[in-house]
Structure 1
Amino acid sequence: MSDTITAETTLPFGKQLAANEKKTRDKAVSALRRYISSSPELSRVDLLKLWKGLFYCYWMSDKPLVQQDLSEKLGSLVLDIPADNAIPFLEAFWETHCSEWHGLDRIRLDKYYMLLRRVIFYSFLFLANHDWNEENVEEYTTMLLNGPLHPTDRKKPDSIRYHIFDVYFEELDKVMELQREQGEEVHLSMESIERPIQVAATESINKVVRTKAKATLAAWEEVKKAEEESGDQDMDEDEE
């Protein structure tokens, strides 16, 4: 990736994102959205600096509605960044949150879980907007396996792994349902998108992680089965 964006341009921006005043933070997030949508590719260092600023921007949000609104804004940033830089952008998100996670107190955990959920939703929406391009899907799932769902890296927080298991297929189903509601066909290889959870279920060095991943896959199989039966029933009714 390009290193054309310098530390001098990004570092003050980060300070604005983590400002005490909500108005200053809101302006910085709006400016960031414009910035990343028209910027050349950002380096890994730049992306980590931006997500460090955004992590503390979210840290400063202290009211439920404010947190909910900001989680939507931050999660949807992946739709604004140039497509070629979207996966590195998400990689920096996960690296930042895995690194900073142990510094969170219990009071803040729930709001960060909400942010993780929204990022997962918008990550799937990004993939759907690009017609579930197989190369994009593989790059995304590989990023998860090298990051928060790494099967052998003990430094990755298990609580993040567990939360991903809890919401992964829920958010995937929401995005696919949106496509169906809009009359779009879903061109997605389930084997590809399930890969991170399958790997966690078979290769994780943590038995609890393996057990939870297997339970997640079993629950997802039930959802798929119910949806298939519902679809078959709808077809039968149409024929009648």
Structure 2
Amino acid sequence: MASDAQNSPFIKHLASSDKDTRDQALDALRTFLSGRNEIAEIDLLKLWKGLFYCLWMQDKPILQQRLSRDFAGLVEVLKTDVVMPFLSCFWKTMAREWNGIEALRRDKYLFLVRQYLNTTFRYLSRNSWRNTAAVAEYTSILAETPLSSTNTRIPAGLTYHVLDCYVDELEKVAGEEMDNEVLARLLEPVEQLRTESKTKAVRNAAKECLDDDRLKVWRGEKVGGEEDVEMGDGEGDEWGGIQD
């Protein structure tokens, strides 16, 4: 049971200042997770609560980042049927705990969220994003929790951060090329936020995310001053280049 993992010493040992202790604890956690074909949601939530507070107790920035990367890497060892429930419980845990994160501890969780967006995009990009069911399931998870347009209990700070990171982390995985159909699916929860969120600031943040020039490049659209260069009459026009 995952609840056994939460109470196991190896969870607490993940925050140890001793590298050998941390590595052994991480190996034990990987072994625990990789051997299960399914894990009940309640047990995954208990496990994630343990991992959340494991990171909470880690004070050294370098070790915080190492721990976040290690947690993100857990996705790689999961059986296929466990991946989406595991990710869903990650986001539910972040949403539940977000408002209670102290300012001095906030950066470590901002980094963890980035790592989880990145590792999930990498997971979905396997086989050239051909597992459309997995892409659809993950965007549904995002639409249900961090990018929900209807659940007013989702912390706005979490939503803003996901929107701020979304294209950055997608670019790291997709590079300069992205299939339009896959891109449209991945942007569905952001589009939904833009049109349906009851909060104007959230709608504006979603619009800003969708207006990112990198998305236009992937779609083959013109960016920045390109239209002006082609349409100008050439007299008195100055072009300063594409702005960052």
C-alpha separation in 1, matches of 2:88 and 2:60: 28
Change (3 A) 1:136 1:130: farther
Which of 140, 157, 160 lines up with 1:159 in the alignment? Answer: 157
Corresponding position of 1:10 = 5
- Report deviation, 1:177: 2.0
- Native 8 Å contact 1:144 1:150 kept in 2: yes
What is the alpha-carbon distance in structure 1 between the residues aligned to residue 6 and residue 217 of structure 2? 50
Please list every run of at least 4 consecutive aligned residues from structure 1 whose deviation after the TM superposition is greater than 6 angstroms.
Answer: none
Matched to 1:175, the amino acid is V
Give the TM-score, by structure 1 length: 0.83
Q: Percent identity?
A: 37
1:129 corresponds in structure 2 to 126
Structure 1: how far apart are the matches of 2:29 and 2:90? Answer: 15
Does the 8 Å CA contact 1:17/1:25 hold for their aligned counterparts? no
Change (3 A) 1:79 1:188: farther
Alpha-carbon shift at residue 189 of structure 1 (Å): 1.6
Residue aligning to 1:148:
146
Q: Where does residue 173 of structure 1 map in the other structure?
A: 171
Rg larger for: 2
Deviations 1:94-148 (A, max 9, x none): 1111111121110011111000000000000010125321100000000111111
Q: How far is 1:186 from its partner? A: 5.8
Unaligned runs of 5+ in 1: 231-240
- Asked whether the 8 Å contact 2:2–2:46 carries over to 1, the reply is no
Structure 1 residue 80: deviation in Å? 1.2
Matched residue count: 217
Confirm whether residue 223 of structure 1 aligns to residue 214 of structure 2. yes
SS at structure 2 position matched to 1:131: helix
The aligned residue for residue 74 of structure 1 is 71
TM-score between the two structures when normalised by the length of structure 2? 0.81
Which has more helix, going by share of residues?
1
The unaligned stretches of length 5 or more in structure 2 are 223-244
| Aligned counterparts of 2:200 and 2:179: Cα–Cα separation in 1 | 34
Corresponding letter in the other structure for 1:74: F
- Distance in 1 between residues matched to 2:126 and 2:61, nearest whole Å: 29
Residue matched to 1:190? 183
Indicate if the aligned counterparts of 2:48 and 2:90 stay in contact, CA closer than 8 A. Answer: yes
- Distance in 1, matches of 2:181 and 2:118, equals 15
Contact 2:194 2:203 in 1 (8 A): yes
Amino acid across the alignment from 2:200: K
User: What is the one-letter code of the residue matched to 2:195?
Assistant: T
1:31 pairs, out of 9, 28, 31, with 28
Structure 2 partner of 1:138: 136
Change (3 A) 1:6 1:139: closer
Match of 2:197 among 196, 204, 215: 204
Looking at structure 2, the residues matched to 205 and 66 of structure 1 have their Cα atoms a distance apart, in angstroms, of 39
Residue 121 (structure 2) pairs with residue 109 (structure 1): no
Q: Deviations over 1:207-238 (max 9, x none)?
A: 1100110011001xx113446489xxxxxxxx
Q: Deviations over 1:187-214 (max 9, x none)?
A: 9621101101111111111111001100
Q: Deviations over 1:16-45 (max 9, x none)?
A: 423574345553332111211122211101
